[in-house]
Chains A and B, each alone.
Chain A
């Protein structure tokens, strides 16, 4: 079982805003990183740190944190944003890595 909890599935209408959340005790002390994974492809980092986007990631992707919950927000979701999204951080037991179970985003 994962120490980072994500909703299994979320849907959003094309062009609307969606928030994907990740809950875990370790997120009180560490920021979550977020990855987008499309079928048959390796994960791609989309958000890290307080709210940083790697080069090439559209600015419709943003990150935030409140208490033990990290959020990935897509403002104006596009069809190409349909993918699985994973959060990652340290865990509360001292292990350097933990992944959330993933959220499947459907763009309607």
Chain B
């Protein structure tokens, strides 16, 4: 059974770097059948994609966050990580990792982690 679990500090100071890791069990992040990504949700607001990566190594970031975001992959641990630099209070959100799948004409996120709240505050 596929499981995704986010981990990392729940509190980050302004101007510092937010770092989260997603540990995947029940599937390999190296599989060509899926892609993987990060999505966040500020309190009381909607979903915002942060970035995704494909098994080929291609990575795509939300243009609004691109200058501050890095997604890295550790296939030996079946984990992928998110780093978001120079954070402000506007980056306070629940951060989700998710698996994306390929279907004819759509590429949905078919499995999600439970999410982790990250608060940016001094």
Contact = CB atoms under 8 A, between A and B. Distances in A.
Interface of A: 2, 30-33, 35, 42-45, 48-50, 52, 54, 86, 88-90, 95-102
A86 B103 contact: no
A40 to B, nearest CB: 9
Interface string B47-79: 111001000000010110000000000000000
Contacts of B101: 48
A45 B103 contact: no
Nearest to B61: A95
Contacts, number: 67
Contacts of A35: 47, 109
Contact of A89 (B47, B63, B106, B112): B106
Interface of chain A, helix or strand or loop or mixed? loop
Nearest to A54: B110
A48 B108 contact: yes
A43 B112 contact: yes
B105 A42 contact: no
